[in-house]
Chain A
Amino acid sequence: MSAVIALQPVGDGCVDAPVLRERGQREVFCGLTGIIWLHRKIQDAFFLIVGSRTCAHLMQSAAGVMIFAEPRFGTAIIDERDLAGLADCNAELDHVVARLLERRPGIRMLFLVGSCPSEVIKLDLSRAAQRLNARFAPAVRVLNYSGSGIETTFTQGEDACLAALAAELPAAPAGAAPSLLVVGTLADVVEDQFARLFAQLDVGPVRFFPPRRAGELPAIGPNTRFLLAQPFLADTARALEARGAQRLAAPFPLGIEGTTAWLRAAADLFGVGAERFERVTAPGRERAAAALARHRPRLEGKRIFFFPDSQLEVPLARFLARELGMRLVEVGTPYLHRQHLAEELAWLPAGTALSEGQDVERQLDRCRAARPDLVVCGLGLANPLEAEGMTTKWAIELVFTPIHGYDQAGDLAELFTRPLVRRDLLAAA
Chain B
Amino acid sequence: MQLTVWTYEGPPHVGAMRVATGMKGLHYVLHAPQGDTYADLLFTMIERRAERPPVTYTTFQARDLGGDTAELFKTAAREAYERFRPQAIIVGASCTAELIQDDPGGLAKALDLPVPVVPLELPSYQRKENWGAAETFYQLVRALAGPADRKGQPRGAREPGRRPRCNLLGPTALGFRHRDDVAEVTKLLVRLGVDVNVVAPLGATPADFARLGEADFNVVLYPEVAHTAAQWLQRTFGQPATKTVPIGVGATREFVAEVAQLAGIDASAVLDGASPSRAPWYSKSVDSTYLTGKRVFVFGDATHAVAAARVATHEMGFTVVGLGTYSREFAREIRAAAALYGVEPLITDDYLEVEAKVAELQPELVLGTQMERHIAKRLGIPCAVISAPVHVQDFPARYSPQMGFEGANVLFDTWVHPLMMGLEEHLLGMFRGDFEFHEDAAPSHLGRGAPAARGEPSPTHAADDMAAPAAAPPGASQTTAQALWTAEAERELKKIPFFVRGKARRNTERFAVERGLSTITLDTLYDAKAHFSPR
Contacts and interface: CB of A to CB of B under 8 A. Distances in A.
A363 interface: no
A186 to B, nearest CB: 20
Interface string A395-419: 0000000000000000000000000
Given A32-B35, A150-B65, A117 B6 contact: no
Contacts of B269: none
Contact of B44 (A24, A72, A382): A382
A26 B125 contact: no
A106 B468 contact: yes
Interface hub of B62, B128, B377, B461 (most chain A Cβ within 10 A): B62
B270 interface: no
Interface in B207-222: none
A68 B377 contact: yes
A2 B327 CA distance: 59
A28 B529 CA distance: 58
Contacts of B38: 29-30, 33, 58, 61-62, 380
Contact of A78 (B1, B94, B377, B469): B1
Contact of B10 (A54, A74, A149): A54
Contacts of A116: 33, 35, 95-96
A384 B51 contact: yes
B2 A77 contact: yes
B44 A383 contact: yes
Contacts of A30: 33-36, 38
B467 A83 contact: no
B391 A64 contact: yes
A92 B1 contact: yes
A80 B126 contact: yes
Contacts of B4: 53, 56, 74-77
A46 B466 CA distance: 10
A361 interface: yes
B50 A383 contact: yes
B519 to A, nearest CB: 31
B79 interface: yes
Interface in B64-120: 64-65, 76, 79, 83, 94-96, 99-100
B378 interface: yes
A80 B52 CA distance: 32
A52 B10 CA distance: 10
Interface in B347-387: 374, 377-378
Nearest to B125: A80
Contacts of A57: 7, 9-11, 14
Contacts of B44: 379-384
Nearest to A147: B35
Given A25-B76, A29-B38, A150-B34, A79 B1 contact: yes
Contacts of B50: 383-384, 386-387
Contacts of A82: 1, 125
B423 interface: no
Interface stretch (A96-104, A204-212, A267-275, A336-344): A96-104
Interface string A91-125: 01101100110111111000000001101110000
Interface centre among A68, A78, A102, A148 (most CB of B within 10 A): A68
A148 B33 CA distance: 9
A395 B468 CA distance: 36
A53 B37 contact: no
A60 interface: yes
A52 B35 contact: no
Given A69-B460, A149-B35, A60 B6 contact: yes
A359 to B, nearest CB: 9
Given A54-B36, A120-B65, A378 B41 contact: yes
Interface residues of A, number: 72
A28 B3 contact: no
Given A70-B467, A100-B3, A102-B469, A117 B99 contact: yes
B3 A383 contact: no
Contacts of A102: 469
A104 B65 contact: no
B438 to A, nearest CB: 24
B98 to A, nearest CB: 9
B461 A69 contact: yes
B123 interface: yes
Given A57-B11, A106-B466, A27 B37 contact: yes
Given A61-B38, A76-B3, A105 B469 contact: yes
A36 B9 CA distance: 20
A71 interface: yes
Contacts of A148: 33, 35, 62
Nearest to B43: A380
B190 to A, nearest CB: 30
B50 to A, nearest CB: 4
A150 B61 contact: yes
Contacts of B470: 70, 103-104
B56 interface: yes
A105 B464 CA distance: 12
A159 interface: no
Nearest to B50: A387
B57 A25 contact: yes
Contacts of A149: 33-36, 59, 61, 96
A312 B34 CA distance: 19
A25 B59 contact: yes
A271 to B, nearest CB: 41
Nearest to A74: B5
Contacts of B466: 44, 46, 72, 104-107
A153 interface: yes
Contacts of B508: none
A52 B124 contact: yes
A382 B43 CA distance: 12
B49 interface: yes
B96 A117 contact: yes
B197 interface: no
Given A57-B7, A79-B125, A80-B125, A380 B37 contact: yes
B196 interface: no
A242 B2 CA distance: 37
Contacts of B14: 54, 57
A373 interface: no
A25 B27 CA distance: 15
A235 interface: no
A151 interface: yes
Given A70-B470, A149-B33, A383-B50, A52 B95 contact: yes
A378 B9 CA distance: 23
B126 A26 contact: no
A53 B378 contact: no
A53 B100 CA distance: 17
A116 B61 CA distance: 9
B97 to A, nearest CB: 9
Given A96-B1, A379-B44, A52 B61 contact: no
A119 B1 contact: no
A395 to B, nearest CB: 12
A197 interface: no
Contacts of A429: none
A334 B452 CA distance: 45
Contact of A103 (B37, B40, B58, B469): B469
Contacts of B59: 24-26, 149
B45 interface: yes
A53 B124 contact: yes
B175 to A, nearest CB: 16
B42 interface: yes
14 contacts: A46-B466, A65-B391, A69-B374, A70-B5, A92-B1, A96-B3, A104-B467, A105-B469, A117-B95, A150-B60, A150-B64, A150-B96, A383-B44, A383-B45
Given A30-B38, A79-B125, A148-B33, 15 more contacts: A25-B58, A29-B38, A58-B38, A69-B378, A78-B125, A80-B123, A103-B469, A120-B96, A120-B99, A120-B100, A149-B35, A380-B44, A383-B45, A384-B49, A387-B51
CB-CB nearest 3 A-B residue pairs: A30-B35, A149-B35, A106-B466
